[in-house]
Every structure is written in C-alpha cells, then in structure tokens.
Structure 1
Amino acid sequence: MGHQLPTSDQDFVGSLIPQRFPFVMVHELMDYSDNHLVSGFVIKEDNIFIQDNTFQASGLIEHQAQSVALHTGYKYFLLGKDAPTGYIGAIKSFEADILPKTGDRLESEVTILHEMMGVTLVDIVTKVNGGIIARSQMKTAVK
C-alpha cells in the first residue's frame, strides 16, 4: 500500500477522487479514520473559483465535498478497490464566516455522522490558520 499519512503526494491524493485538474480542490490527506478525515488545500491564483483574489463560497462547498470524496477514496484504497464516483446529494446547511484569499491554506475536518446504503451524512469544518471560516452538513452519495 505504501502511503503513510499525512501525505501531500498530489498524484496519490488525486487518484483517490474522481475530479481532475482544473477541478481538484484537495491537495493533502492529513489524517484518516473510519469516521474522520482531515484534508488540506492551498488556494492558487489560477483556481477556477477565484474572483478578485477571493475563493468563492462555491469553491468552499466543492472543497468540502471533495474532502468527503477523499475519505471514501482512501477507504476504498485501504480495501484494495477503485474509488467509486459520488456526488452531493443534499446540502443541509452551509455557513461561511470568511471567504479565503489566494495563498490561504484550507484545512477541513470531515466527521461521518451516518452512513447507509451508499449515502453518507457528514459535518465539515474548514479552517484557515487555525480559525474556523466555514461549516456545513451535507449528504453525499456514491453511484
């Protein structure tokens, strides 16, 4: 299996999610357990969600959803299987206190609340420099 956490090996992290450049919003897998994951992402100025040097709320939502996909992808990796394709089933809540800027490093903590029949309910908290900037609760589903 060969990969230890944390890892910022972009080829490895990219292999765990279905998205491809320029739509990749996770660069680092910092911590993982059955019901928890911490991801990292550095916002670059060429990001498709940048407007006036600010990462838009839609980009934060996509980063959070890809963090959930990263959890699923790493779980499948540990089982020796290919990661399934998934999608956001519903966003129960989303709150952004601050929109991050180019150069900021996002750190998102995913907590799996419930998982049944391919549908996962999660809480996600995103931080910049240790301060919480966004929270959400969403359901994701795998094909």
Structure 2
Amino acid sequence: MELQQENLINIHHFLPHREPMLMVDFILELTPEKVVTSFEIKPENIFVDNNQFIEAGLIEHSAQTSSSILGQSFFENPDTQTKVIGFITNIKKIEIFELPKAGEKIISKASLISKYENICQISCETFLDEKLLIRTEMSLFIQEIE
C-alpha cells in the first residue's frame, strides 16, 4: 500500500497516546468497522532491542491500531479537548510469526468483531510488505475522563 500524504489521517485525532508510547504514525483508512494504519519503527523506539521491534511493541501497536476504531467516537471534532483512557481487557489470541527491524514500516488492518457501549472486540493483522507479522484478537475498553 503506497502512502500518499493527502490521504493520511492524523492519528492524534483518534488516540490519546503520545511519544514515547505512540506506536502508530498514520491512519490510512478509517470506518466505524475497520482501520488501516502505518508505523515506521525508529531505532530509538522503546520497544526496539538489538535492532528488532520486540513482541510487546507489536502487541501495543496492534492495540493502538484497534482502539482507533472505538476511539473515533470520542474524537469526532479534531479541536476537542476530550481526554480518554483505554485498556486491553482481554487478549483472546496472539500469533507472532516474525519480528520487524528498526527502520521498517509496518501496516496493520483491524476489523470490529463486536461492540457494546465502550467495549469492543477487534481482530488485527500486521504486515511488513506482504509478510504477516502478527495476528491478534482482543477486547478493548475506552472511557472519557475529566
């Protein structure tokens, strides 16, 4: 998938995460049921060890990608000062096939399985080019805080 600047959606409008815990650069596609994100793994990333993006980083990237589906309802207005907190409430499945290296760009595709109020179950797959790196299925909870 080729990244074109005019088609990129600012992730800051959909997730509360900031550096050094932000593991998504751009949203490439977003609907109420699915999202596609990109992330370039920088050598200084907190989840890079010996030039590899470790398992915890892949899982966090998957969770952040997935949570933007639910998070979009809190950030409908880009100028809003809404503050939210989110949690992984359940990980049903994680399959890790390969770890990417620093300097590589990964693409993730997540789909909503079910949703009830602020809790959702989402499946996500992350790729390096056409190679599947990780497949997850998790439940997430997001709520607004004052």
**Letter paired with 2:28:** M
Cα distance in 2 for residues equivalent to 1:5 and 1:111: 23
Give the aligned partner of residue 69 of structure 1. Answer: 67
Give the SS at the match of 2:72. Answer: helix
Give the aligned partner of residue 84 of structure 1. Answer: 84
Please state how far the C-alpha of 1:5 moved relative to its aligned partner. 6.9
Please state how far the C-alpha of 1:79 moved relative to its aligned partner. 6.2
**Letter paired with 2:87:** Y
Give the aligned partner of residue 6 of structure 1. Answer: 7
Cα distance in 1 for residues equivalent to 2:72 and 2:101: 28
Give the SS at the match of 1:58. Answer: helix
Cα distance in 2 for residues equivalent to 1:5 and 1:57: 32
Give the aligned partner of residue 127 of structure 1. Answer: 127
Please state how far the C-alpha of 1:108 moved relative to its aligned partner. 0.6
1:85-124 equivalences in 2 (<5 Å): 85-124=85-124
Segments of structure 1 that go 5 or more residues without pairing to the other structure are none
TM-score by length of 2: 0.85
Segments of structure 2 that go 5 or more residues without pairing to the other structure are none
Give the aligned partner of residue 142 of structure 1. Answer: 142
Please provide the CA RMSD for this pair.
2.0
**Letter paired with 1:130:** E
Cα distance in 2 for residues equivalent to 1:129 and 1:62: 20
TM-score by length of 1: 0.87
CA contact (8 A) 1:93 1:136 kept: yes
Please state how far the C-alpha of 1:71 moved relative to its aligned partner. 2.2
* Identical columns (%): 27
**Letter paired with 2:105:** R
